Amino acid sequence: MKTLARSRNVVFTAFFVLGSTTGLPAAFAARKLAQAAPADAPPAPAAPAEAPPSVPPAAAPVDVAPAPSPEPVAPPREATAVAGSPAPPPEPAAEATPVTEIGLQRLPGSAYPEPQTRGLKYGSLWLTFHGLQWPYLPANPGRDRFVVGISGWGWLDTSYEKFGPWGPNPNLENGRIEYWKQQGRMLLRVTPTYSFDDWFVQGQVELVGTEDQTVSRSDVGAADTDDLWLRVGQWNKWDFMVGRFEGWEVFHLGMGLDQNTFERQGASGPGEAAYPIGFYGLTDNQFRPQGAAGNLAFHYYPFRFLRFELLGMAGTFSNGPAVATRPVAILDFGWLKLKGGVEWQHITGQTASDETDVTSKGVGGAIQFVFEPHIEFGLNAAQGTVESTDSMGRRSLLGSLTRTSYGGFMNLSNGSDRHPLLFGIGGLFSRHVDQNAVAIPGVVDNYWLWQSFAAIQYVAFQQLYIKLVGGYSRGHWFTASSNPPLEFDDEVYSVRLRFSFYF
């Protein structure tokens, strides 16, 4: 979930001034000028000294003429001129040593665009940019500039969960588990940007450190690079983007169900590994692709309140070459946000004898309301299908399924800037129905999963987010691979304390 946090950026700005001492202290400029004078220039004539006053006889006082005013000291070349002669032409200015200024500058709030309100301050919608171009770093009119933005975030979770399965699950005992876990990620974002007039060229890389060093790079949340992209365009008009990045979010989950967490996984635990289920929110092509694959996207901004993304993906996954597309539209009036999109993905076998063919497609939408400064809420719904053929050209009945998810969230805030306190609740229902009618004709596998949470968050110093999340999830599995079919359930309780820092 490309939920970019509204973080405070820091930039390193380099100014290069050639052949000029403009802006330097006067003493330094004079010293530079003196160094530039010819070595053989005679010194300027000294101003006549003021004569000491004489003491005349008391009987006959004599008027004393005032001493002449000192002559102004002329620059060396002008000092050689003969009185009455025309002034010589000025010599070309000596080339000064280039002066480089390197400064540490904190980006203004304008770098994080908000033409309409993004959401309650410090809330989950506020930490989402809803398709806006950011960091927003335009040049001043008639000027150009180059900046390197430094930003990022980090979070640390300490969490606990306990599973409680029941029913005739053959893996029931494997699912009776409870454990503590601490995990964390720290991300450094580097965004070089060159802007001129209303045009820009921008790049971004997000370097990630993970606390759990036992995970492999291919595990969820263990990548050492998140974003890596380039884009070119015009501010508030259009841009073209290529690389590794997330598509625009449609399905918003609120203050809980964060990525890489217990409540995001839900009640689908070790005992249900053979029957996986998760939420679908137009998400097959939203997140960064894995493997040797990347995205291309064209963004168009015809009005301040209307935005379009046409995303494409191409590359090779572990199971073969893949292509995809995901157009999304966002209508954003601030207090009301409407989001919708469709997606399509196609994976084929890599060798001539491999007949693998997997086609996924889906549609989804969301409606969100923001009533500042105290309440925001939204509803989501999405459905996707998968048609799968294995490497031998046979229909994969377990892999061909329909996925449906719908849910909502609500956040409340006390509206305080000094001591912001927020509360959030949310729920999500997902169902998977495949085509595995093997044992009984017309009876297929049917799973559902309910996920819910309640959260409270306090923000200290306007930078440190402290969030406590309690979660509950229940799953139900109806498996058609036996006669009679098996029905079993699982549930999980979880609690999680997160400290996060956005900069």
The DSSP-derived string for 389-416 is: E-TTS-B-TTT-EEEEEEEEEEEEE---
**What are the structural domains, with CATH classification, of the chain?**
10-15+105-502 (2.40.160.10)
Cα(152)–Cα(149) distance, integer angstroms: 10
382 - beta bridge partners?
Answer: 364, 405
Give the Cβ contact number of residue 294 at 10 Å.
Answer: 17
DSSP class of residue 211 equals S
Strand partners, 106: 10
* Furthest CA-CA distance within the chain: 145
Contact (Cβ atoms closer than 8 angstroms) between residue 497 and residue 158: yes
Q: Which two structure tokens, joined as six digits, stand for 467? A: 């969030």
The rounded distance, in Å, linking the Cα atoms of 35 and 51 is 34
Nearest to 323 by CA among 342, 353, 343, 304: 343
Q: Check if the beta carbon of residue 272 is closer than 8 Å to that of residue 175.
A: yes
Greatest mean pLDDT range, 28-42, 136-150, 309-323: 309-323
Q: Are 424 and 411 in contact (CB under 8 A)?
A: yes
pLDDT tens-digit series, residues 412-470: 999 999 999 999 999 999 999 998 887 788 889 999 999 999 999 999 998 999 999 99
Contacts of residue 404, Cβ cutoff 8 Å, sequence gap at least 6: 280, 382, 383, 430, 431
d(CA 464, CA 109): 18
Q: Is the model's pLDDT at 46 over the cut of 80? A: no
The pLDDT score that the predictor gives to residue 91 is 57
Distances (CA, A) of 58 to 51, 64, 134, 238: 20, 14, 89, 95
- The predicted-structure confidence for 218-272, as pLDDT tens digits, reads as follows 666 667 899 999 999 999 999 999 999 999 999 999 999 998 888 899 999 888 8
pLDDT at residue 482 in the model: 77
SS3 80: helix
3-state secondary structure of 1: coil
3-state helix, strand, coil in the chain (%, to 5): 5, 50, 45
Lowest-confidence segment of 148-157, 165-174, 219-228, 399-408 by average pLDDT? 219-228
Which phi-psi region, left, alpha or beta, contains residue 415 (left: φ > 0; alpha: ψ -120 to 50)? Answer: left
- The burial class, CB within 10 Å (0-12 / 13-18 / 19+), for 483 is exposed
At 143 the pLDDT is: 86
Q: In this predicted model, what pLDDT tens digit does every residue of 470-502 receive, in sequence order?
A: 999 999 999 987 788 889 999 999 999 999 999
* Nearest alpha carbon to residue 498 among 256, 279, 206: 256
Closest C-alpha among 357, 236, 363, 348 to residue 300: 236
Integer Cα distance of 378 and 68 in angstroms: 88
**Is 159:180 a contact under the CB 8 Å cutoff?**
yes
Instruction: Tell me how far apart the alpha carbons of residues 130 and 222 are, in angstroms, rounded to a whole number.
Output: 26
pLDDT at residue number 242: 98
Of 429, 448, 435, whose CA–CA distance to 487 is shortest? 448
DSSP string, 256-296: SS-TTSHHHHTT--GGGTTS-----SS-TTTSPPPSEEEEE
Question: 59 Cβ partners below 8 Å, 6+ apart?
Answer: none
CA atoms within 13 A on the CB side of 423: 4
pLDDT of residue 80: 41
Tell me: pLDDT of 295 over 50.
yes
CA 267 from centre of chain: 30
What pLDDT does residue 92 have?
Answer: 52
| Structural tokens at position 30 | 């004079």
What tokens does 122 get?
């410090």
